Every structure is written in C-alpha cells, then in structure tokens.
Amino acid sequence: MGIFRRVILPVSWLVVFAIIAVALVKIAFVDGLKPSDSGPAPLAQVDIPVVPATRATVTNTVEIKGTVQSDAAEAIRSTSAGKVIKVFVEQGATVAKGDALFQVKAERVVTSSQPSKDGMSSVPKPVYDYFDVLAPSSGTLQSLTTLIDQQVSVGESVGKIDPGTYTVAGSVTAAQQYRLLGKPGPAEIALVGGPAPFQCTEVTLKNNASDDGGSTSGGLSSTGGGAGMGVGGAVAIPGGGGGQSQDGGTPTGTLSCAIPAGHEVFAGLGATMTVSAGVAADVVTVPLTSVKGSVKDGIVWIAGAGGSGAAPEERTVQLGLNDGNVVEVTSGLTEGEHVLEFVPGAPAAPDPMMGPGQGTHIPAG
C-alpha cells in the first residue's frame, strides 16, 4: 500500500500530464499548420430566375377610371350686323339646329343717287335687308341677351345653347397611351351606382401636351354625341381631380367618350371605361418584366446554355400587344427559349411573403 502511494500513483499522474502536453503541442504546431483542403460551404446560393417563351392569347384591354361631365354650352354668334327687330324664342326653350332665334334689320348701302323730275339729284331712299340668326346646334337655350332695337355686330356673342349631352373622361398614363396606339375600339362604360354597362363608340385620345384640341386614335370620330361637339378637349377629373391617375403614374393624356343618347347620367358620376385595343391569338409571349422596353422594339436576355453560371445573351426583339402582364414577341424569339425573368440590374417584383423593404435584386451582367 505504501509503495502504491509513493511510486505508482505519482508516476501515473506524470504519464497523464505528459499525454495531455503532447496532444496540445500537436494541435498547436502540427495540425494548425496544415493547409485547409476546402473552405466553408456557402450558406445559400442565389439562382437567377428564368422563364420560357410560351404561346398565349394577348388581349390588350385598358381599364381607366373617369368622371361624367356635362358638355360645354355652344356660343350663339350673330351672323349679321344691324338692329334687332324680332326675338322668336325665350330663354329655356328647346331649339333644333337651324331654328330662327331673332331677326336683324340691316340697311343696305346705296351708292348711286336717282334724278328727280326737275333734273335735280335726290337723296336715295334707304333700303333694308332682313336676316334671321339661326341656332348653331340643338339643345336648350341657356341664355339670349338680345333686346328689341339693340344693335348687334357680326360675330358678337349673344347667348349660349346647352346641348344636354355628356362625356365621360379619365386620365391615362404614358404606359396606357402606348397600349392604346393600336387603334382602340369602342369602350364599355360602367357607371358607379348606375345602370348596366353600355357601349360607347365615340372614343377620343388626347395628349395633354397637344395644342390642337385633341387627336383621335385609330381613325375614330373626334366629335361628341348629339350636339356634334368635340370631346377631345375634355378635362378629366376622376375622383374629384388630382395630379395622379388611378394606377399611380403621372397623367400624360385624356381618354374621353361621348355618352350615347338614351342613357340617364349626371355630371360628377364616377365611371370605369374598359377599352379594347386588339387581340393577338396564339402568339409567342414573355412576361413584361423580362423585356427592356414595351413598344415596338425591346431587349431580352437569353439564359446561358452552360447553366446558371453562364452569362446571358442580350437579344433585340420586336414586340406587339401587351396586356399589362405579358407582351407579344413578333420576331427575334422562338417558343421554348428561356429568358431571364427580370431585366438585369432591375429589382424584381416584391414577394408577398417578404416583409416591407425586402425583395430580390437581379445583378447586372
């Protein structure tokens, strides 16, 4: 027992400590100097999303919020100079285009004098002409300021006729204007709280920067309804007016349509105009997010053939109709080819599963 305590136990502890010391030296000076075979594995890998070009039917339908507006009253201008001798209608009367409103007596200028019986020249007797001033359009006589024995001149404004017609108008953005360049057809008008939707054929698209009073797309008439007045100059005030259109973009134009007769409407009523600008059936399409540009010419990026690590190929394509989500590719791309889902360098569409401020960014190149 005494030998175990004095000899065996101390020697055992010395052996244990020696083993520990050797292990520490090996870890610090041998294993730590060996080169690492591989680095740490990446925590995540970002794959650039690609989509195939597929065949689909593209319906170019643009929906625009608008407001019903009364068409402006038309001015009555005197077509003759002279003295008013008769007034045929009173304010508030209903008139048709061409109805006589008042009569003007005008003295005719006589230059030659007639000789008398004694051979002396005599002052010629005055000669008068009588002219009826007619209504320039149909409607309700809103005002007529002429009075008996009043002198009027040619072109003088003497009253107004309210046509009693209405126009629905709404602001459009640049993107919507580009989509409406392809000859927009009739618009379907849905009134807020009103009757069932109805068709409106007199569609006019006006650029806000134009000075010619409006232009018509697709050869459609630029005149309004029953009064025959232009609606290209209508000012849209959807939702009570404002500097933003319904989709948040800056308004660059105005789309308006004269409401056909027989529909009960009133000024200030909200409306939605649905305009169709063409249908392309069974055509090659890609998402709008894949294309840089959306009208006529565009650029897509073809996915690299060597996999996700290969650089994409930039390619110019020709574009047709788009419906706000996908766009028709008329040439430059075939069905089945894979393109980048998002334009390089542009932020992807926000994922609803992500929180505010989060999203995917596609690196350029």
Q: What integer is the mean pLDDT of 237-260? A: 65
Which of 20-29, 232-241, 334-343 is the most confident on average?
A: 334-343
* pLDDT band, very low/low/confident/very high, at 240 (cuts 50, 70, 90): very low
Please provide the average confidence, as pLDDT, over all residues in the chain.
78
Q: Which of 51-60, 103-112, 228-237, 302-311 is predicted most confidently?
A: 51-60
pLDDT the model gives residue 152: 94
Angle, vertex CA 84, rays to CA 78 and CA 85, nearest 5: 140
Task: Identify the pLDDT of residue 214.
Answer: 41
pLDDT (average), residues 250-278: 88
Question: Per-residue pLDDT averaged across 194-215, rounded?
Answer: 74
Buried b (16+ CB within 10 A) or exposed e, 76-104: bebebebebeeeebeeeeebeeeeebbbb
- Tens digits of per-residue pLDDT, 177-190? 888 875 667 889 99
Please check the confidence at residue 248 and state whether its pLDDT lies above 90: no
pLDDT at 69 over 70: yes
**Given pLDDT bands bounded at 50, 70 and 90, which one contains residue 222?**
very low
* The model's pTM: 0.60
Quote the pLDDT of residue 135: 94
307: pLDDT confidence band, cut at 50, 70 and 90? low
Specify the pLDDT at position 22: 81
Residue 93's contacts (CB-CB under 8 Å, 6 or more residues apart) are 140, 141
Q: What angle do CA 215, 219, 221 make, to 5 degrees?
A: 70
Per-residue confidence (pLDDT) for residue 355, from 0 to 100: 53
pLDDT of residue 160: 96
**Binning pLDDT at 50, 70 and 90, where does residue 312 land?**
confident
Residue 113's pLDDT is: 60
Residue of 185, 215, 214, 213 lying closest to 200 (CA atoms): 185
Cα-based distances in Å from 34 to 26, 201, 251: 11, 83, 68
pLDDT of the residue at 124:
72
Give the Å distances, CA to CA, from 213 to 66, 219, 222, 275, 321: 19, 16, 10, 21, 28
76-126 tens-digit pLDDT: 999 999 999 999 999 999 999 999 999 999 988 776 666 656 666 666 778
> Does residue 20 carry a pLDDT above 50?
yes
